[in-house]
Amino acid sequence: MKKLFLLFSLSLFLACNTSAEKETKTNQTTETEKAQDSVGNFGIVIHGGAGTILKENMSDSLENAYKAKLEEAVRTGHEILANGGTAIEAVQRTINIMENSPLFNAGKGAVFTNEGKNELDASIMDGQTLNAGAVSGVTTVKNPINLAWEVMENSEHVMLSGKGAEQFARERDLEIVDPEYFYTENRFKSLERLKERNSEKTELDHDGKTAFVDPFIKDSKFGTVGCAALDKNGNLAAGTSTGGMTNKKWGRIGDAPIIGAGTYANNKTAAISATGWGEFFIRGVVAYDISALMEYKKMSLAEAAKEVIQNKNPDLGGSGGIIAIDHQGNVSMEFNTAGMYRAKMNKSGELEIGIYSKL
């Protein structure tokens, strides 16, 4: 009887052990397959600003011009990624396309300050190293995103501003232009119209504090440009470039050059670029907040972006949007305005372009 019991126990042990080994091998195979599936994955997403962008206010020719430039920009970055290039390079070169176009509030198409100048801001961040570079208030650098990259790669600093940033640009042999290069008639007329409306200041009360705000701000379009990318090595990067806000005074700086507010990238979570009313994106540390919700609350990119852009930022009074891509290639293009210029491409080369609230 004892022999039978021992044989039964041994058989049961061997069966359980074999089953456990099979389950372990199955789990290992599944994890291996997942890893193999993610190898070589890549993608890119861009924005050209968010705000009151309505179909009825857009001519067919202008709409087609925006779509063509968005496609040119996103395809530029996608080609770099498809050929094995880095996310950082894809972000920089993609933003260059939009900086060189008068359609967007960045580089060539930058808006004017109250003094009638163009003051440019930009930032870039590497999700692998968490290294970053940013510049603000530059007036003679053709492509501010390139200067931000130089700050990241060839200085011990993160942010440079004004004349010092321009001196560094010259030392790094970046393309310097006369400030007249940034002049565009439609942007200058926007400044004139806004100055005319300045007499219509609206007094607002925030928690007992009185502030005067141009009523035009909430209804204006924000043309900041940005890009987020995932390369074949699994590295993320993000960048943002802008001319800031029309009629800005006193050397005002928005969220675009501030790491964590307008730009953030971390291989653990996602790469994010923001556009909108910068003061609120700074106060909400929007780009980093999305990453933090993913890292600490284990939210998906879609969940985190929706929570920040549709709930948290509007509760402060902010409007705008973000584009982002996570370490698995998932993309978000979340905004709480009437429209946002945007485009994305995945590993398969599928292209999606949008302007209004609905594609």
- Domain extent listing, the chain: 1-38, 43-356
Q: What is the mean pLDDT of residues 13-27?
A: 48
DSSP state of 95: H
User: Is 26 tagged catalytic?
Assistant: no
> 9 pLDDT exceeds 60?
no
Full-model pTM: 0.85
Average pLDDT, the chain: 87
Q: What would the pLDDT profile of 101-151 be if each residue is shown by its tens digit?
A: 999 999 999 999 999 999 999 999 999 999 999 999 999 999 999 999 999
pLDDT at 196: 84
Task: State the number of CA atoms in the 13 A half-sphere of 88 facing the CB.
Answer: 20
Q: DSSP letters along 324-355, please?
A: EEETTS-EEEEESSSEEEEEEEETT--EEEEE
**Binding annotation:** 252-255, 275-278
Given pLDDT bands bounded at 50, 70 and 90, which one contains residue 17? Answer: low
Cα(154)–Cα(28) distance, integer angstroms: 43
CATH topology assigned to domain 43-356: Glutamine Phosphoribosylpyrophosphate, subunit 1, domain 1 (3.60.20)
User: What local confidence, expressed as pLDDT, does residue 40 receive?
Assistant: 87
CA 171 – CA 155 distance, rounded (Å): 11
- Long-range pairs for 208-217: beta carbons < 8 A, 24 or more residues apart: 214/247, 217/245, 217/277
> What pLDDT is stored for residue 270 in this prediction?
98
The SS3 of residue 194 is helix
Choose, from 224, 263, 269, 337, the residue flagged as catalytic: 224
Residues belonging to the binding site for substrate are: 252-255, 275-278
